[in-house]
């Protein structure tokens, strides 16, 4: 095992690139997490997200992704933007989808970090991931001490809350791992109580993805089931309710990433602007954002402007 110096140098470089969180876990099979994932899938909580059941072994053993993997580096990139639409009746978009597609922005920085690792430490083998492969990112971030998985099943960091993207770099360089931290949710149930579709289990820590507003407005390609219609609370793409009520997000601070700034028209759009939005306007406002994934038809159906 190398000294902690390589980890410290890597964390400094990651910070220079804009990652406000960086921590290291030993790359090894995730037996306990594999069992939990299997139970979750068997319960049907993944809904129509069939891809969640694919590549099971790859998700739970990093050596299947990078032969000889020694270290899993987890990184956090801030996306918090507390701005809201000027019209309180306008449909809402999750903060993470305000700006440019995060996959592109963060992948560029991750590749630069990996190039730096190779320059510093030689012919290191590895791969980068930004919500783009079979990686249990929250579990790895928890293992590395970046935070704990809250009752809403999102990762929470004591210093910055939960409004951040996760990314990973798996390498065959042994680094000193960071110790995991304890769960600080305590007796709080705000996220459970606030979820309008009751997607979070009564005791927390288990999410029925098929009931989650983010799933209903993004992943589900068919009509939203009648049992959930009228329960979206104005969300057109994604949902931030469980994060908005989380006490730990009082520590969240606004991001400084220009690529994540919303299109100038987005937060000025009124409810009527949304209802009358054409495909051309959709492409103008959302063409470079994650919202493009849903598509104009899906978005308009979600907000009730199309049957």
- What are the residue numbers of the active site? 131
Closest CA to 267 of 146, 91, 132, 138: 91
Closest by CA position to 240, among listed 261, 205, 213, 207: 213
CA angle 45, 303, 271 (to 5 degrees): 140
Residue whose C-alpha is closest to residue 14's, from 23, 5, 2: 23
Rounded Cα–Cα distance for residues 72 and 52 (Å): 21
Q: How far is residue 11's CA from residue 190's CA, in Å, rounded to a whole number? A: 33
Q: Are 76 and 157 in contact (CB under 8 A)?
A: yes
């Amino acid at each position: 095992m190398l000294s902690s110096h390589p980890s410290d140098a890597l964390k400094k470089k990651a910070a220079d690139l804009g990652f406000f969180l960086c921590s290291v876990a030993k790359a090894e099979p995730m037996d306990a997490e594999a069992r939990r994932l299997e139970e979750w899938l068997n319960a049907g909580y993944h809904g129509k997200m069939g891809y969640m059941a694919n590549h099971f072994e790859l998700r739970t053993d990093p050596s299947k992704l990078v032969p000889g993997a020694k270290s899993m580096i987890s990184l956090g990139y801030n996306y918090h933007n507390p701005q809201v639409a000027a019209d309180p009746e306008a449909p809402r978009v999750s903060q993470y989808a305000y700006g440019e597609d995060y996959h592109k922005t963060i992948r560029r920085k991750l590749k630069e970090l990996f190039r730096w690792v190779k320059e510093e430490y030689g012919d290191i083998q590895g791969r980068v991931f930004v919500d783009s492969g079979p990686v249990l990112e929250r579990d790895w971030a928890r293992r590395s001490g970046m935070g704990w998985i809250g009752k809403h099943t999102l990762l929470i960091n004591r210093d910055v809350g939960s409004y951040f993207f996760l990314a990973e770099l798996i390498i065959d360089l042994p680094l000193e791992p960071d110790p995991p931290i304890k769960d600080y949710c305590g007796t709080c149930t705000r996220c459970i109580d606030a979820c309008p579709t009751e997607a979070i289990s009564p005791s927390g820590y288990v999410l029925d993805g098929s009931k989650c507003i983010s799933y209903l407005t993004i992943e589900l390609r068919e009509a939203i089931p009648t049992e959930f219609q009228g329960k979206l609370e104005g969300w057109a793409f994604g949902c931030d309710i469980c994060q908005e009520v989380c006490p730990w997000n009082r520590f969240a601070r606004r991001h400084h990433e220009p690529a994540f700034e919303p299109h100038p028209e987005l937060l000025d759009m009124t409810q009527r602007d949304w209802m009358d939005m054409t495909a051309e306007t959709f492409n103008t406002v959302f063409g470079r954002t994650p919202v493009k994934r849903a598509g104009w038809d899906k978005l308009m159906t979600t907000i009730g402007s199309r049957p």
